[in-house]
Structure 1
Amino acid sequence: MTNPKIGVIGIPGKWSTEVLADAVEARTGYRLVIDMAKVALDLGSGAIRFKGQDLGELDALIVKKIGGEYSPNTLDRLELLRMAEARGVKVFSGADNILRLINRLSCTISLRKAGIPMPETLVTEDVDQALEAVREYGEAVFKPLYSTKARGMCVIKADQPKRELRRDIEAFRRHNPMMYLQRKIVLPGRDLGMVFLAGRYLGTYARVSQNDTWNTTIHSGGRYAAYEPPESMIELARRAQAPFGMDFTTVDVAETAQGPVIFEVSAFGGFRGALEGPGIDAAAAYTDHVLALL
């Protein structure tokens, strides 16, 4: 295809969105960064409009970010992309594929069905059962079903009076009726992001903690570093991402005394970690992949 028109769905001005748009523009001469908050779908005509451009007339869309934060509203935005696909626009990764990863519970169920090792996890709306799980675990990480970069997560410890423990759980539940909690894992000062392009392993970066926070995310002050995992860990991550059929993703892996476990498979993948860690230009690799398939 000569000079295809490829739009980049993301957050205008954000680094990962702009470097992907740069890579697309360098190869095609076309640049369009799309903010899904400003897209309108006219079901009568089928037009999907963004600043006068009908997205249904493009050759492809690459989804870098669907919004600044994950939420049920994110699912609504993905539905608009399903309409673009119905009009023949290639969407990378496919809207249905991304849908299965936006919700943490959906991702977890798929991983468990595939036999992928994960931290001990309880999902419930019942405060009493959550309380008993915290007592069993000693410490539990409570995670919203829709979140990124550990936002909204908290650690609740069992070594406090039952009344205070219940209070903390109920405070989390007020904003998260379906509670998702995992046994807190002692990390070796890092966790890993393993990068895959259409199922092909590209490399691994570590998120290294720089302080005494319980998580290693860059949002909490961590830094990226290169990491060379053993082949067995690469194979585990490959199996974890396989059910989702993503064109680009990262698999979050933690090392434990019992062996590696998978935290999650990312709906969008970490461009900055790939670049600052193992030196992978993910934007260029992803764009070349898309162009090869057009």
Structure 2
Amino acid sequence: MGLTVAIMTDEIGWHTRQLQAALRVRGCIGRCIDLADCRIDTTAAWHGLVIPGFGRELPDAVLVRGIAGGSFEQVTKRLGVLHALRELGVPVYNDARAIERSVDKSMTSLLLHAARIPTPPTWATESLAQAQRIAIREGAAGHALVLKPLFGSQGKGLRLVGEVDGVHHALPDIDKAYGGLAYLQHFLPAAATPGFDWRVLVIGGRAVTAMRRVSAHWIHNVAQGARCEPAELTTELAQLAEGAAQALGMDYAGVDLMPSPPARPGARSRDGIQVIEVNGAAAWQGVQRVTRFNIAAALVDDLLGRRLALSDGSGRSKVSRRA
């Protein structure tokens, strides 16, 4: 009998259907589970977890597709379930440590900086006065900033700070909309018209495909209306994306990169391509439209072949984790 893989997701749709189909091809079962429905119960089984649909057993592997937002306590419990599964010997792809590093944008920036991956200068502070001083200082040096929610995604909540195209954008009250934290990063103006960034998909430590996200707006997320175009996976893009994924300890990652704009007179220049964000539960529907191979199959093959050491032609007996 094939292995049973828990697909942790708060949303069933195209991505989960793709993963389930790829698992069926490999003789496995993909079962969609919402981490919000999982719980800790030390009286229920030897391992102390309750994973819906698994009774007293545990999944043979876990593939994390998405984690629902919630209170600090709720998210802590959901990540705690993933931590516990890893400690119990269940391969978790990506595991909770990697997800925590990528969800927290300030930690992503810190780890990229420590690994010497080119990334825009970044600040995270709880002091509005200090954030204002940073904005004034950087503005004097010719740099506008982007204010981002620490845990945001899909381009939501991004705000310009400073002067862009002759318009001044004031720093908003961070207590009201940003949880009392200013996460600020150098704004990279478009290097071409229209502007674009790259999304590179890394699977098992290797960059496998890339696309350009093109938009007349300065935010290039597909969820904000950007269009997807094929992009050559150059050596530079691949090396930067692979280095970023390695710095965060990711099994798979969607790495966002941007070209540096031409330096303005008097401004400090940072040449080349820079890594903007690293996504630990990256969607791939957009990049699939410009990629010839099946991405879900590549993810499943990496999970089974690298993490579980199962080859396409081998017998796959189910691992027992009974009491």
- TM-score w.r.t. length of structure 1: 0.87
Q: Does 1:283 align with 2:284?
A: no
Q: Does 1:179 align with 2:192?
A: no
Partner Cα separation in structure 1 for residue 19 and residue 37 of structure 2 = 20
Q: SS of the residue aligned with 2:202?
A: strand
Note the 1:45-84 alignment, pairs <5 A.
Answer: 45=45, 46-54=47-55, 56-67=57-68, 69=69, 72=72, 73-84=74-85
Percent identical among aligned pairs is 25
**CA-to-partner distance for each residue in 1:47-69, whole Å, 9 max, x for gaps?**
432434248522111111122x4
Amino acid of the residue matched to residue 149 of structure 1?
A: Q
Aligned counterpart, 2:120: 119
- TM-score w.r.t. length of structure 2: 0.80
Structure 1 residues 234-243 or 150-159, which shifts more?
A: 150-159
**CA-to-partner distance for each residue in 1:95-136, whole Å, 9 max, x for gaps?**
222222221111111111111111122221222222233232
Aligned counterpart, 2:156: 151
Q: SS of the residue aligned with 2:213?
A: strand
Amino acid of the residue matched to residue 42 of structure 2?
A: L
Amino acid of the residue matched to residue 266 of structure 1?
A: N
Aligned counterpart, 1:5: 4
Q: SS of the residue aligned with 1:176?
A: coil
CA distance 1:70–1:230, change in 2 (3 Å) = farther
Q: Does 1:256 align with 2:260?
A: yes
How far did 1:190 drift?
0.9
Structure richer in helix, relative to its length: 1
Q: Does 1:24 align with 2:23?
A: yes
CA distance 1:273–1:89, change in 2 (3 Å) = same
Partner Cα separation in structure 2 for residue 61 and residue 283 of structure 1 = 14
Aligned counterpart, 1:199: 205
- RMSD of aligned Cα (Å): 2.4
CA distance 1:202–1:55, change in 2 (3 Å) = farther
**CA-to-partner distance for each residue in 1:244-272, whole Å, 9 max, x for gaps?**
23211121100113210111221122321
**CA-to-partner distance for each residue in 1:182-208, whole Å, 9 max, x for gaps?**
121112311111111111120111111
Aligned counterpart, 1:105: 106
- The answer to whether the 8 Å contact 1:199/1:242 transfers is yes
Partner Cα separation in structure 2 for residue 70 and residue 197 of structure 1 = 28
Q: SS of the residue aligned with 1:65?
A: coil
CA distance 1:221–1:53, change in 2 (3 Å) = same
How far did 1:174 drift?
4.8
Work out which of the two has the higher radius of gyration on C-alpha atoms and give 1 or 2: 2
**CA-to-partner distance for each residue in 1:15-56, whole Å, 9 max, x for gaps?**
222321222233225231011111112134434324342485
Gaps of 5+ in 2: 262-270, 309-323
Q: SS of the residue aligned with 2:145?
A: strand
How far did 1:149 drift?
0.9
Gaps of 5+ in 1: none
Aligned counterpart, 1:213: 217
Partner Cα separation in structure 1 for residue 203 and residue 253 of structure 2 = 7
Amino acid of the residue matched to residue 23 of structure 1?
A: A
How far did 1:6 drift?
0.9
CA distance 1:12–1:28, change in 2 (3 Å) = farther
Aligned counterpart, 2:86: 85
Q: With CA pairs under 8 Å and 6+ residues apart, which has the higher RCO, 1 or 2? A: 2
Amino acid of the residue matched to residue 183 of structure 2?
A: Y
Q: SS of the residue aligned with 2:16?
A: helix
- The answer to whether the 8 Å contact 1:56/1:87 transfers is no
